[in-house]
Every structure is written in C-alpha cells, then in structure tokens.
Amino acid sequence: MPVATVVPHVHPWSAPGFPPFAIGARLPRTPLGRRAWELFDPLVAKGLARGRDEYNGCRARLGLPPLPGFHTGLSRLLTLVATLPQLEYPRAWEPWLRVTGPLLWEPPEGERVAPPPGEGPVVLIAPSTAQDPEHALLRAALAGLAGAPVRVIATYNGRDPGPVDVPPNAVLVPWVSYAKTMPGCDLVVTHGGHGTLVRALACGCPVVVCPAGGDMGENAARADWAGVGVRLPRRLLGPRTLRLAVGRALRDAGMRDRARAVAAWVAAHDGADAAARELEALAG
C-alpha cells in the first residue's frame, strides 16, 4: 500500500556542510564553516544508523524486510514537509519531498484578546504549552517590558504560573487564540515551537525566539537566518536581555517587511490544500 509521511516542522534531514539538526546553529556563511560542520558528520551518521536499525527491528517483528539508508520513517514515495519554504536552507531536494507550507491549526476554544488601552506597539508573549515549567520566559517578559513604550498581551496557556507581577502596560490571560489575536500584534515573543512560529509569520509578525527544548533551537536559527526574528539564547534570558531583543526587533523595518512578505506568501499558498493535492496525486 502506498505510504506518505507528513513532517510537521522544518525538514530534519541535514545536507553536507549543514550543522547537526536541532542544536540551534545557523547555516555557515563560508566554505571553511561548512568544512568545520562536516567534521560532525560521522557522529551524526552514527546516531542515524542506530535509528535505522531500531526502525528495521520493528519491521522485522512484523515480517517486513529492512529498509536501507537513514531517516527510514520518511516515505520515499511522498514526504510532505509542512513548513514555510522561507525557513528552509537551500539544498538539493529529493524528488519525493514536497514543501507544502504550514498546516495551521489551533484549539477552537480560544478568543481574541485585546491589548491594554493606549498607544505603542503590541507585543504578544506566547510561551510553549509543554516547556519552561517555571515560566521563566513569561516572568522575564513581564518584568523586562514593564514601563517600556509597548502594550503587552501575555498568556500562560492554561498552566498556572502562580503569583506574577503584571505591569499596567500588560494583560495576562490563561488562554488566547493566536489566529484571532496575532493579526493585531506587532511582535511575538515565543519559545519557538514550530506551530507558534509559523502562525506568527503567517500573521506578518516578526518574532523574538528564546528556545527551551526539542526543535526550538533549530526553529530559532531558521528565523534568524531568514531575517524574520531575533534569537535570545536561553542561558542569556532575563528581563533586560529580553527588553533589548524586543527593542531590536521592533526597530528593524526590514525584519517587519520580511515577515509581512511571508504572510503574503501564506495567503496565496494554502498548506492544507497543497498537501491534499499531493496525496490525491499519489493515490491516483
């Protein structure tokens, strides 16, 4: 039976000269940098070989033959990479790979949240639903942006942070609809989960990304490389550094223009429609 794979984030398959996936390093700018990253290829290959062997072990228990190569979970008939092409490094793409655009979704119960009254750019603090149990990003943002010439919408995504000081220029809510709220924002501060990142860019919002775990470091590097966001390493997170990162992003007109260009691309390229057409072509 034909099988297709959906990758709901940036493509995890590195190319020669790429840094190892998910460590948060940017694509090198020089041949020397590419050669330096190639020194890590044997170590990466060792990990990929282990994954392939474990995958083939599952196949053997089902009476199926082994598959060659790495990334055996990716269908060689059709793999749909559901991300923004603007976040993908230039590479030679296999003919069975298709970048469809993101598959945008969110829980239906969220509502639009308005910013505090007044003037000034609107900054949305959109932390991870799974990472940062101490709410370090939320606390640093509320403390760092207190008194800044911005209006802040912050959410703790249903995970009670306990006592938090909320300054007069901010509102803190348990949940928010990103699809309904982000179009009225000027900047999104996030841990860098793929869903939140592409939703912000689809709404034309540049981002400040402070990665917490998983693929967030990779997403932060891609946003930085694409010129649509500012990276704030987790080890440097604090009220002052976050305020500086927000100020830098808001002052960068080019960053804002690039985010809006991404939004225009998303408006003209529906990821779900593109994925459905590819699946129908495979089935046909």
pLDDT tens, 159-168?
888 889 999 9
Question: pLDDT band for position 76 (50/70/90)?
Answer: very high
| Residues carrying CATH 3.40.50.2000, the chain | 122-268
**CA 3/CA 283 separation, integer angstroms:** 9
Class of domain 122-268: alpha beta
Mean pLDDT of 70-89: 95
Distances (CA, A) of 79 to 2, 82, 94, 96, 97: 12, 9, 10, 6, 5
90 Cβ contact partners less than 8 Å away, ≥ 6 residues apart: none
Q: In this predicted model, what pLDDT tens digit does every residue of 27-38 receive, in sequence order?
A: 998 999 999 999
Mean pLDDT of the chain: 94
Token pair listed for 191: 């841990």
pLDDT at residue 16, as a whole number: 85
Task: Give me the sign of the Cα torsion angle 113, 119, 121, 123.
Answer: negative
Distances (CA, A) of 68 to 76, 94, 190: 11, 16, 38
Question: pLDDT band for position 280 (50/70/90)?
Answer: very high
Is the confidence at residue 242, as pLDDT, over 90?
yes
Mean pLDDT of 66-82: 93
Mean pLDDT of 236-248: 97
Q: In this predicted model, what pLDDT tens digit does every residue of 88-102 receive, in sequence order?
A: 999 999 999 999 999
Mean pLDDT of 231-248: 97
Q: How far is CA 183 from the centre of its chain?
A: 18
**CA 113/CA 225 separation, integer angstroms:** 31
Is the confidence at residue 190, as pLDDT, over 90?
yes
Is the confidence at residue 248, as pLDDT, over 90?
yes
**CA 237/CA 246 separation, integer angstroms:** 12
Which of 15-29, 187-201, 245-259 comes out lowest in average pLDDT?
A: 15-29
SS3 136: helix
Question: pLDDT band for position 216 (50/70/90)?
Answer: very high
pLDDT at residue 162, as a whole number: 86
State the distance between the two ends of the chain, measured CA to CA, in whole angstroms: 13
Question: pLDDT band for position 109 (50/70/90)?
Answer: confident
- Residue given tokens 């942006």 in the structure block: 145
pLDDT at residue 108, as a whole number: 82
pLDDT at residue 31, as a whole number: 92
17 Cβ contact partners less than 8 Å away, ≥ 6 residues apart: 28, 33, 34, 35, 37, 38
